[in-house]
Amino acid sequence: MMNPKSKDCVFCRILDGSIETDIIYRESGIAVFRDANPQAPVHLLIVPEEHIATINDASGVIVAECMEAAKKIAKDLNIAENGYRTVINCNKDGGQEVDHLHVHLLGGRKMGWPPG
Protein backbone atom coordinates (compact mmCIF):
# COMPACT_ATOMS: atom_id res chain seq x y z
CA MET A 1 0.00 0.00 0.00
CA MET A 2 1.25 3.49 -0.82
CA ASN A 3 1.86 5.62 2.23
CA PRO A 4 0.35 9.10 2.03
CA LYS A 5 2.70 12.05 2.30
CA SER A 6 2.99 13.02 5.93
CA LYS A 7 2.43 16.67 6.84
CA ASP A 8 4.71 16.15 9.83
CA CYS A 9 7.61 14.84 7.77
CA VAL A 10 10.27 17.36 6.78
CA PHE A 11 11.23 15.46 3.61
CA CYS A 12 7.58 15.12 2.51
CA ARG A 13 7.26 18.88 2.99
CA ILE A 14 10.36 19.46 0.85
CA LEU A 15 8.92 17.17 -1.83
CA ASP A 16 5.49 18.85 -1.86
CA GLY A 17 7.12 22.29 -2.06
CA SER A 18 5.97 23.58 1.32
CA ILE A 19 9.62 23.85 2.42
CA GLU A 20 11.49 25.62 -0.36
CA THR A 21 14.54 23.54 -1.34
CA ASP A 22 16.54 23.27 -4.52
CA ILE A 23 15.72 19.80 -5.87
CA ILE A 24 18.64 18.92 -8.09
CA TYR A 25 17.25 15.67 -9.55
CA ARG A 26 13.75 14.28 -9.71
CA GLU A 27 12.85 11.25 -11.77
CA SER A 28 10.87 8.02 -11.49
CA GLY A 29 9.75 8.56 -7.90
CA ILE A 30 13.18 9.62 -6.60
CA ALA A 31 14.28 13.13 -5.61
CA VAL A 32 17.69 14.50 -4.63
CA PHE A 33 18.57 17.64 -2.70
CA ARG A 34 21.51 18.97 -0.70
CA ASP A 35 21.86 18.09 2.96
CA ALA A 36 21.26 21.22 5.08
CA ASN A 37 24.24 20.33 7.29
CA PRO A 38 26.84 19.01 4.84
CA GLN A 39 29.55 16.69 6.13
CA ALA A 40 31.59 16.68 2.90
CA PRO A 41 32.03 18.88 -0.20
CA VAL A 42 29.31 16.73 -1.81
CA HIS A 43 26.55 15.72 0.60
CA LEU A 44 23.25 14.93 -1.06
CA LEU A 45 20.15 13.13 0.13
CA ILE A 46 18.44 10.67 -2.19
CA VAL A 47 14.83 10.28 -1.19
CA PRO A 48 11.88 8.27 -2.51
CA GLU A 49 8.83 10.45 -3.15
CA GLU A 50 6.72 7.96 -1.24
CA HIS A 51 6.81 8.39 2.54
CA ILE A 52 8.58 5.25 3.78
CA ALA A 53 9.90 5.60 7.32
CA THR A 54 12.99 3.37 7.30
CA ILE A 55 14.84 0.84 5.17
CA ASN A 56 13.08 -1.81 7.28
CA ASP A 57 9.81 -0.70 5.68
CA ALA A 58 11.11 -0.40 2.11
CA SER A 59 11.04 -2.84 -0.78
CA GLY A 60 14.33 -3.93 -2.27
CA VAL A 61 13.23 -2.31 -5.52
CA ILE A 62 12.97 1.15 -3.93
CA VAL A 63 16.31 0.73 -2.17
CA ALA A 64 17.89 -0.34 -5.46
CA GLU A 65 16.39 2.66 -7.27
CA CYS A 66 17.87 5.00 -4.67
CA MET A 67 21.28 3.36 -5.05
CA GLU A 68 21.09 3.55 -8.85
CA ALA A 69 20.31 7.28 -8.52
CA ALA A 70 23.32 7.66 -6.18
CA LYS A 71 25.59 5.97 -8.73
CA LYS A 72 24.30 8.15 -11.56
CA ILE A 73 24.69 11.38 -9.61
CA ALA A 74 28.17 10.45 -8.39
CA LYS A 75 29.15 9.92 -12.01
CA ASP A 76 27.52 13.18 -13.13
CA LEU A 77 29.38 15.07 -10.37
CA ASN A 78 32.70 13.45 -11.29
CA ILE A 79 33.27 11.83 -7.92
CA ALA A 80 32.68 8.26 -9.08
CA GLU A 81 36.29 7.56 -9.97
CA ASN A 82 37.89 8.95 -6.79
CA GLY A 83 35.10 7.39 -4.78
CA TYR A 84 32.29 8.29 -2.47
CA ARG A 85 30.21 6.86 0.33
CA THR A 86 26.53 6.01 0.54
CA VAL A 87 24.92 5.72 3.97
CA ILE A 88 21.46 4.68 5.12
CA ASN A 89 20.95 5.27 8.82
CA CYS A 90 18.19 3.19 10.38
CA ASN A 91 16.36 3.96 13.61
CA LYS A 92 17.91 4.91 16.95
CA ASP A 93 21.16 2.94 16.97
CA GLY A 94 21.78 3.80 13.31
CA GLY A 95 21.47 7.51 14.06
CA GLN A 96 18.40 8.15 11.90
CA GLU A 97 17.00 11.60 12.62
CA VAL A 98 14.49 12.03 9.80
CA ASP A 99 11.97 9.20 9.57
CA HIS A 100 11.69 9.21 5.79
CA LEU A 101 14.02 6.79 4.03
CA HIS A 102 17.03 8.51 2.50
CA VAL A 103 20.46 7.63 1.19
CA HIS A 104 23.29 10.02 2.04
CA LEU A 105 25.72 10.47 -0.86
CA LEU A 106 29.02 11.84 0.48
CA GLY A 107 32.07 12.66 -1.58
CA GLY A 108 34.75 15.15 -2.53
CA ARG A 109 37.07 14.17 0.32
CA LYS A 110 38.61 11.01 1.77
CA MET A 111 36.22 9.40 4.24
CA GLY A 112 37.30 8.01 7.58
CA TRP A 113 36.61 4.52 8.87
CA PRO A 114 35.18 3.24 11.16
CA PRO A 115 32.21 5.60 11.35
CA GLY A 116 31.43 7.06 14.76
Q: Catalytic residue positions?
A: 102
Measured from the CB atom, the residue of 86 and 96 that comes closer to ligand AMP is 96
Say which DSSP state 52 is in.
-
* Interface with ligand AMP, residue 50, by CB under 6 A: no
One character per residue 30-49, x = contact with ligand AMP (rule: CB under 6 A): -----xxx-------x----
CB of 107 to Zn ion, least distance (A): 25
Q: 62 with 48: CB under 8 angstroms?
A: yes
How far is C-alpha 86 from the chain's CA centre?
Answer: 9
- Sign (positive or negative) of CA dihedral 68, 70, 76, 78: negative
Q: Residue 9 binds which entry of ligand AMP, Zn ion, none, with Cβ cut-offs from 5 to 8 Å by kind?
A: Zn ion
Burial (Cβ within 10 Å: 0-12, 13-18, ≥19) of residue 85: middle
CB of 81 to ligand AMP, least distance (A): 25
User: Which residues contribute to the site for ligand AMP (CB under 6 A)?
Assistant: 10, 19, 21, 35-37, 45, 89, 95-98
